[in-house]
Structure 1
Amino acid sequence: MPSVFERRLPFGAAFSDGRATFRFWAPAHPEVRLEIRDRDPILMDPEDGGWFSKTVEVPAGARYRFHLPDGLTVPDPASRFQDGDVHGWSVVVDPKAYSWRSGDWRGRPWQEAVVYELHVGCFGGFVGVAEALPLLAELGVTAIELMPIADFPGTRNWGYDGVLPYAPDAAYGTPEELKALVDRAHELGLMMILDVVYNHFGPDGNYIGAYAPPMFRDDLQTPWGGAIDFRLPEVRSYFTENMLFWLQEYRFDGLRMDAVHAISEQDWIDETARAVREAEQDGRYVHLILENEFNEQSHLAGEVDAQWNDDFHHVFHVLLTGEHEGYYEDFAHDTAGKLARTLQEGFVYQGDPSPHQGGKPRGTPSAHLPPTAFVSFLQNHDQIGNRAFGDRLTKLAPPEGVEAATAVLLLCPQVPMIFMGEEVASETPFLFFTDHHGDLADAVREGRRKEFAKFAAFAGAEVPDPNAVETFEASIPEPHPQRAEARTALFRRLLSLRAAEITPRLPGFAPAGAEVIGPKAVVSRWKAEDGAVLTIAVNLADASIAASGLAGPVLFESSSGAAEAAAAGTLPGYTTVALLERAA
C-alpha cells in the first residue's frame, strides 16, 4: 500500500492543505518580509530569539524568498528545493505528494553492508543512478552511498560546497526523483546512505552571515572560514533536524557525516546521534557513519555505527605504490606491521606519534571495537580526487596487486566500501571539479595549482582546471577495455563468498592474531562466535615469500594454485589466499 512521509520542520516552509507556515531565523534584523513571486511582500511576525513567522495560503510549487531591511533578498536556509540555483527562489514543496511503493521497508542490519560510493552527477542524476541499481545489486552491493547532494552553486560540484542542506540540487533532479531513487533501491533490497556536510558551507551562495551572523564564530577559524558555532541551540537544531529530515522524509537508511573533526563541539556528534536513535523510525535499521581524522573511538562506543578508516587505505596504498609524501609518510616504515594492525584492530594510529604531524600523537585505542565499526576501502572520492590528476589505484599499481588487495578488502570482517568504477577496473581519473565563475573561479583554479606545487610528482605539470566542463566529463568512470569483465567477475565472486560465509558471522568475528611474514606480506586471523577461524594471507610484493601454517579449507585464492603453494610453504607474489576452518 502506498505511503507518504514528512518531517515537520520547526523552520522553513511547512506546507499542508493549501497553506504554508514560513519560519525564519534572522537575529541581525528588526524585521523581515516574506516575498512570494507575483505577490506583494508580506511583513512577517516577530517572535522571541530573532525568529520571524507567517502563515499564508499558497499552492505547492510557489516560489518564495525573504527580504531583509537592507534590500537583500535571500533563499530559505531550510529550502526543500530551489528554482534558479543557490541565489534563486526557494520552492514550497508538499512532502506528501510522493506515494512510496516501499513504505514497509525496514532496512538491513549494518553487518550486511557492502557500500558503493558514487557521485550522482557522474551517473546522470537521480534517474541515472536508479537505472544503474539492478546491476549493482546483482554484483553483491547492499548499500549505495551518495556523495553530497545539498544545493551547490552551478551544475558541477563534488557536493562539499553545498549551502542549502535541505535542498537536493536541481542539477540532479527533483525531490520526487530523489524519492523515486530511494524507493527503487529499497525495492531491490539496497540500503541508501547520504553523505552530509555539517562542518562548513561553500563559498558561493552562503547568505546566512547576512541575517544570522551568530551562526559563525569569529574566534575560531577553519580552512573554509569562521567555524560554525555549535554552542548555540539554534545551530544544533538546524543540523540535527537536517539529519532527521533525510532519514524520515526521504527514507535514507543512513548518513555519512563528513569531516566531523572540523566541528569544534564534539559533544554535538553524540547528542545528535542520540536524537536519531530516539526519534520514531518505524522500527527501521538506521546507520550513522563518521569521517573523523582524529580516529576518536568514543563516538563509536556510543550511538555511531562506524567510521571511515583512512589508515586501512593508506597502508595498502603505500604497499602497492611506494608513495611516501604527505600523510603517506606515516605509513612508510614498518608498513607490513601497520597492515597487520589495521586488519586486527582497525586504526593504525591509536595515540602513536605521527611523523607527518611532527610527532604529535594521533588516534585512540580501537582494538576493543567490533570489525564492523570500520568502513575500509582501497579508493574513495578523497583519496583519488585530492590527487592533482585524480589518479585511480588502477593507474598506480599492478593489476594483480590491486586484485589481491581487493580480495582482502571484500573478505575481511570490516565493512567494505567500493568506489564507483572499481568493479570494472576503471582507469579514468576522478578529478576535483566545480562550476564557479569570475574571481572565485580564478581563486579555486590557482589555489589548486599552488596546493600541488610542493609535491615532487606534480612539479611543472598543469593541474586540470576545476571549472572546465572537460574536467567533470573526464571524471565519469568507464570500464577498462581489457580487464573490466574479469574484474567484475572477481567482485561478484568475492561478494558472493562474503554474503555466504563472512556476513552471517558478523559482528562476532574477534581478532585472533596477525604476523608479518615479509616486507609486504601478512597473515591475519579472526575467530567467529561459532568457532570458525578465518585466515587471510596476503603478499603484495612481486616475488614469492616463505610461509607456513597456511594449510586448511580454501575459501579463495587470487590466482590458480596459490593456495596449494601456500600450503607447501610458499606464498606467491601479488597473492591473497583466504582459508575458512569451520567448527566441527
Structure 2
Amino acid sequence: MHLRWGAHPGTGGSWDFAIGAPAAERAELMLDGTAHDMAPVGNGGWQASIPARDGLSYTFRLDGTDYPDPAARLQQGDVHGPSLTHDPEAFDWGAPWHGRPWDEAVILEIHIGTFTPEGTFAAAAERLPELADLGITGIEIMPVSHFHGAYGWGYDGVLLRAPHPAYGSPDEMRAFIRAAQSNGIVVILDLVLNHFGPFGNYLHSYAPEAFGGEATPWGDAIDFTRPELRALLRDMATGWIDEYRLDGLRLDAVHAIRDPSEPHFLFELLQTIRAKERERPIHLILEDERNLPDLREAGYDAQWNDDWHNALHVALTGETQGYYKAHAADPFGDLARAMTLGQVEEGQTRADGTKARGAPAAHLPWSAFVNANLTHDQAGNRPKGERLLSLIGDKAGAVSHALILLMPFTPMLFMGEEVGSTAPFPFFADPPKHAVAALREGRTKELQGLGYDTSAMIDPASPDTPRLCYPYGDTRRRTREWLRLTRELLSLRRRHLLPLLRSGKRGPGEVTRHGLKAFHARWPFGAGTLDILVSLGAPASNAARRDTALFSMGDPRRDAFAIDVRID
C-alpha cells in the first residue's frame, strides 16, 4: 500500500494526514494551532490520524520548520502558507453525468483567468449555455493548479492538486464543471506532471531525492524512479478526475517526463486511470513532441498535433523562424502529408536532409489527432501575442476555420476563435518582486532565440497584460458573422461528419495537389468519403468542376482562398 500524501477524511470524525519526508528526523502535524506527533511509516513516510473537520488550517512541521502540504486541496492563502482541510465528498453534484464519446469532441481551449472579465469559475459558468448552443462539446481548461502570484498561465503550479484561489474555491470549480456537464459539455483539465514551478515548491525540503537528472526547460527534473513520487503524482491525477468529476486530462509536455522505469510512468498512470470503472468515459490527451504512436496505441485517446498547426502557420504567414523552420522547405507539401497521414514528421528524412522525429501513425483513428489552427502556446510564443487571424486576415482565416472544423480530425479552437477574435494572448506571470527582472530578461532571450524582434514585447510581468487577453469584448457585425459561420460548421459536423466518422475509417487520406497552394483531399469511411477542395493562397485552377457542395465558401477553382466540402 503506497503512502497517500495529504489530508483525507477518515471515519468517525478522524482525518488521515501523511507526508513523504525522508530527509526529516522528526515530523509533526500542526492542526488548527495544535501540534501532533506523526509516526514514521517506512520509506521516509510520516502519518497521523487526528480528529478534525472541514476547513481547518494545517502545516507539516519538519525538524521545527512549518511547510504547506504538497498534496493540499486548498490553501488558507498563498502557496507559502498553511493548507486547509477540505472534504471533496461534500459537494452536491445533482443529476448524474454519463459523459460523451470522444468522437463527438469539438474542443474550446480556455484560460479561466481571461475567459471572462471577472476571471473566475463562476463567471465562466455563465458563458456555458451559449457555447453549448453554438455546438462546442468540450472545454479544455489551461492549468489551474495553485501557483505563486495572482495571475499566470498556470504551467508553473506548485500545489498541483489545489485550484488557484483567484479563480475560485474547489466547490466553485465543481459548480463550473457541473454547469458545463448539464449543458452537455465535457471538461478536460490541462495538468502539468513533468515539473513543479520555481516559487513555492517545497518538495526540495520534504524530499530532496524527488529531483535529479537533466533539468527540464521549466524547472528541476522529477525523479520518476522513486515510488513515493510516482504515487503522489498518480494520486494527484486521479484525484482531479474523481473529486471534480472531470471528463479527462490533457497532460502537458510528456516528452519531458524522463523515466527509465518499467513500466514508464505514463503507462502506469494510464493503467491506474483505466482500471477504475466510472459512469462516464475518461478522455486522455497528450502533448508529446516525439510524434510517437505508442501511448495512443496503449489507450490514450489523442495527442496535440503541432505538425498541422506549424505547417499551416508557415504556409499562411511565410514565417520560418524558430520551430517553424522545420516546415520552411515545403509547408504546403507538409499540409498535404498531414491531411493524408495525420502527422508530418514520422521518422523520415526531411527535405533539408535532417532526420524527422516520430514514427508512422496513420493506422490510428483520425480522432487521435487534435488539430488546431491556434493554441495558447503559439500565440504566447510571440512578443506581442498575436493570433493567427491577426496575421492573415479574415478571408484566409475563415477558410482555415472551416477546414479545421470539417476535416475528420478532432478539432480544437482557442477561446475567441469561434467569434473571430483578434485579441492578443501574450505570455504573463506574477513572480516574486525579486524575480521580475529575471522573468523579463529570460522571456526576451527566449523570444530572440526564436528569431523575434522583442523591442515592442508586451511586458510579461505587468498586471495589465492579462486584461489584454479577454477575447469577447467586440460586439460588431463582424463578430456576429463569425458566430454564424462557426454555428453552421459545427451543425454540419454534427449532422454529416459524425455519422461518417462512426462508420469506420477505411484507410489513409488521399490528397491531390493543384498548383502550389490548393488541395483536393479525400478521406474514405465505411459510409462514404469526405471530399474537400480547398485553396489556401492560390486557386485550384486545374481542378475538375464539382457538383453542388454540402458546404462552400467561395470557389476554390477561381478564388485564392476558398473551400468546397462534399460527402460522396
Could you state the TM-score of these two structures normalised by the residue count of structure 2?
0.95
Counterpart for residue 15 of structure 1: 9
Q: SS at the partner of 1:42?
A: strand
State whether structure 2 residue 514 is matched by structure 1 residue 517: yes
For the 8 Å contact 2:5–2:71, the answer to whether it is kept is yes
> In structure 1, how many angstroms separate the alpha carbons of the residues matched to 2:288 and 2:138?
21
AA paired with 1:554? A
Residue from 484, 490, 499 that aligns with 2:479: 484
Alignment of 1:551-566 (within 5 A): 551-559=546-554, 562=555
Counterpart for residue 275 of structure 2: 278
For the 8 Å contact 1:346–1:371, the answer to whether it is kept is yes
Identity %: 41
> In structure 2, how many angstroms separate the alpha carbons of the residues matched to 1:301 and 1:244?
21
Give 1:462 shift.
3.4
> In structure 2, how many angstroms separate the alpha carbons of the residues matched to 1:422 and 1:512?
26
Alignment of 1:300-319 (within 5 A): 300-319=296-315
> In structure 1, how many angstroms separate the alpha carbons of the residues matched to 2:501 and 2:400?
21
> In structure 1, how many angstroms separate the alpha carbons of the residues matched to 2:163 and 2:338?
36
Counterpart for residue 339 of structure 2: 343
Residue from 425, 431, 446 that aligns with 1:451: 446
> In structure 2, how many angstroms separate the alpha carbons of the residues matched to 1:116 and 1:63?
36
Counterpart for residue 3 of structure 1: none
State whether structure 2 residue 89 is matched by structure 1 residue 93: no
> In structure 2, how many angstroms separate the alpha carbons of the residues matched to 1:553 and 1:340?
24
> In structure 2, how many angstroms separate the alpha carbons of the residues matched to 1:395 and 1:280?
45
- Structure-2 change in CA distance of 1:162 and 1:354 (3 Å): farther
Residue from 381, 389, 407 that aligns with 2:384: 389
Residue from 185, 190, 206 that aligns with 2:180: 185
Where structure 1 has 5 or more consecutive residues not aligned to the other structure, the ranges are 1-7
For the 8 Å contact 1:209–1:215, the answer to whether it is kept is yes
> In structure 2, how many angstroms separate the alpha carbons of the residues matched to 1:20 and 1:487?
52
Alignment of 1:393-472 (within 5 A): 393-454=388-449, 457-458=452-453, 461-472=455-466
AA paired with 1:537? L
May I ask how many residue pairs the two structures share in their alignment? 557
Greater displacement, 449-458 / 258-267: 449-458
Counterpart for residue 532 of structure 2: 536
AA paired with 1:195? D
For the 8 Å contact 2:322–2:449, the answer to whether it is kept is no
Q: SS at the partner of 1:362?
A: coil
Give 1:340 shift.
1.1
For the 8 Å contact 1:60–1:93, the answer to whether it is kept is yes
Residue from 313, 320, 334 that aligns with 2:316: 320
Residue from 56, 62, 67 that aligns with 1:62: 56
State whether structure 2 residue 225 is matched by structure 1 residue 203: no
> In structure 1, how many angstroms separate the alpha carbons of the residues matched to 2:75 and 2:449?
40
Q: SS at the partner of 2:514?
A: strand
Alignment of 1:115-194 (within 5 A): 115-122=107-114, 123=116, 124-194=119-189
> In structure 2, how many angstroms separate the alpha carbons of the residues matched to 1:255 and 1:501?
28
Counterpart for residue 358 of structure 2: 363
Deviation string 1:461-494 (CA, Å, 9 cap, x unpaired) is 1322212111111111135445211111110000
Give 1:516 shift.
1.2
> In structure 2, how many angstroms separate the alpha carbons of the residues matched to 1:197 and 1:550?
50
Q: SS at the partner of 1:225?
A: coil
For the 8 Å contact 1:329–1:355, the answer to whether it is kept is no
> In structure 1, how many angstroms separate the alpha carbons of the residues matched to 2:128 and 2:349?
43
For the 8 Å contact 2:293–2:360, the answer to whether it is kept is yes
Give 1:360 shift.
4.0
Q: SS at the partner of 1:240?
A: helix
State whether structure 2 residue 222 is matched by structure 1 residue 228: yes
Give 1:453 shift.
3.0
> In structure 1, how many angstroms separate the alpha carbons of the residues matched to 2:111 and 2:219?
26
AA paired with 1:429? P
For the 8 Å contact 2:15–2:49, the answer to whether it is kept is yes
Q: SS at the partner of 1:167?
A: strand
For the 8 Å contact 1:18–1:60, the answer to whether it is kept is no
> In structure 2, how many angstroms separate the alpha carbons of the residues matched to 1:60 and 1:225?
33
- Structure-2 change in CA distance of 1:206 and 1:321 (3 Å): same
Give 1:547 shift.
3.4
AA paired with 2:367? T
Counterpart for residue 4 of structure 1: none
Deviation string 1:301-332 (CA, Å, 9 cap, x unpaired) is 11100000001101111111111111111112
Residue from 92, 111, 114 that aligns with 2:103: 111
Deviation string 1:217-263 (CA, Å, 9 cap, x unpaired) is 1x322213331111111121111112211111111001000000001
Give 1:24 shift.
0.6
State whether structure 2 residue 325 is matched by structure 1 residue 329: yes
For the 8 Å contact 2:381–2:447, the answer to whether it is kept is no
- Structure-2 change in CA distance of 1:490 and 1:579 (3 Å): same
> In structure 1, how many angstroms separate the alpha carbons of the residues matched to 2:126 and 2:84?
27
Deviation string 1:342-366 (CA, Å, 9 cap, x unpaired) is 112111000034689x924311111
State whether structure 2 residue 71 is matched by structure 1 residue 74: no
AA paired with 2:102? W
- Structure-2 change in CA distance of 1:377 and 1:21 (3 Å): same
Q: SS at the partner of 1:295?
A: coil
For the 8 Å contact 1:353–1:362, the answer to whether it is kept is no
Counterpart for residue 5 of structure 1: none
Deviation string 1:27-83 (CA, Å, 9 cap, x unpaired) is 11121111123x3322211111111111111221000011111x3311111100111
For the 8 Å contact 1:553–1:580, the answer to whether it is kept is no
Counterpart for residue 469 of structure 2: 475
Give 1:544 shift.
2.8
> In structure 1, how many angstroms separate the alpha carbons of the residues matched to 2:192 and 2:451?
32
Give 1:552 shift.
3.2
Q: SS at the partner of 1:162?
A: coil
Could you state the TM-score of these two structures normalised by the residue count of structure 1?
0.92
Counterpart for residue 559 of structure 2: 572
> In structure 1, how many angstroms separate the alpha carbons of the residues matched to 2:215 and 2:247?
33
> In structure 2, how many angstroms separate the alpha carbons of the residues matched to 1:355 and 1:171?
48
> In structure 1, how many angstroms separate the alpha carbons of the residues matched to 2:544 and 2:286?
37
Q: SS at the partner of 2:377?
A: helix
> In structure 1, how many angstroms separate the alpha carbons of the residues matched to 2:219 and 2:393?
41
State whether structure 2 residue 36 is matched by structure 1 residue 42: yes
Give 1:512 shift.
4.1
AA paired with 1:375? V
For the 8 Å contact 1:427–1:478, the answer to whether it is kept is no
For the 8 Å contact 1:413–1:509, the answer to whether it is kept is no
For the 8 Å contact 1:145–1:194, the answer to whether it is kept is yes
For the 8 Å contact 1:34–1:67, the answer to whether it is kept is yes
Greater displacement, 404-413 / 470-479: 470-479
Give 1:96 shift.
1.9
